[in-house]
């Protein structure tokens, strides 16, 4: 059985990084965008990182421009935006695709391990589903990720244990991370 440690990804400079370097840590792997309605998630993500990283926690940030072109710019421009506007200090990797034939293998794996089960209830969630369905129609059965700021929680053994859609309450995400760190 594969774990996230079997994958390598590109850092912002284009160098390959083995996720095996994060073995033994609890990970939250996130596809992000700088121009999305969920971009304010950077604030609670950074707060969580600042508060929990000394307990063996890492956030791995992967910008993605596949959702209504909400992550324009170069890796350096995206990084500058995130550090200046939100003070992010967690690792940010190269911009990637998360859907379709060009999807990064890590995200195809993550989504296969924890498939999409919905955005939840409520008018806002229904509206996002309609917009997401239209955006992701081109990816067919390779529409692994439905929108920006989808988060995957990975335990210390490299297994994907939870998926959080962008509509999930960030307090619930933090509680799940804290519970995993306490194990």
User: Can you give the pTM of this predicted structure?
Assistant: 0.93
36 noted as active-site residue: yes
Catalytically annotated residue among 4, 19, 36, 96: 36
pLDDT, one tens digit for every residue, the chain (183 residues): 699 999 999 999 999 999 999 999 999 999 999 878 888 899 999 999 999 999 999 999 999 999 888 788 888 888 888 887 888 999 999 999 999 999 999 999 999 999 998 888 887 788 888 878 888 888 888 888 999 999 999 999 999 999 999 999 999 999 999 999 999
Residue ranges and CATH numbers for the domains of the chain are 4-181 (3.40.30.10)
Q: Is 140 exposed, middle or buried (0-12, 13-18, 19+ CB in 10 A)?
A: exposed
pLDDT at position 1, please? 64
3-state SS class at 16: strand
The dihedral built from the CA positions of residue 24, 30, 34 and 37, taken in this order, carries a sign that is negative
| Structure-token pair, residue 55 | 């307990």
Q: State residue 167 phi and psi, 5-degree precision.
A: -80, -10
pLDDT at position 92, please? 94
């Amino acid at each position: 059985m594969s774990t996230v440690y079997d994958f390598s990804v590109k850092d912002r400079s284009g160098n390959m990084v083995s996720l095996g370097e994060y073995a033994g840590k609890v990970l939250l792997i996130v596809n992000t965008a700088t121009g999305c309605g969920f971009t304010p998630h950077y604030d609670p993500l950074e707060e969580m990182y600042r508060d929990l990283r000394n307990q063996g926690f890492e956030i791995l940030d992967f910008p993605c421009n596949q959702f209504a072109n909400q992550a324009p710019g170069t890796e350096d421009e995206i990084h500058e935006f995130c550090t200046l506007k939100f003070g992010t200090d967690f690792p940010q990797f190269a911009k990637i695709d998360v859907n379709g034939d060009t999807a990064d293998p890590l995200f195809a794996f993550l989504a296969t391990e924890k498939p999409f089960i919905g955005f939840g209830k409520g008018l806002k969630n229904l509206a996002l589903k309609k917009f997401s369905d239209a955006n992701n129609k081109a990816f067919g059965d390779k529409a692994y990720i439905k929108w920006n700021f989808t988060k995957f929680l990975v335990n210390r053994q490299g297994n994907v244990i939870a998926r959080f859609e962008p509509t999930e309450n960030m307090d619930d995400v933090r509680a799940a991370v804290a519970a995993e760190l306490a194990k």
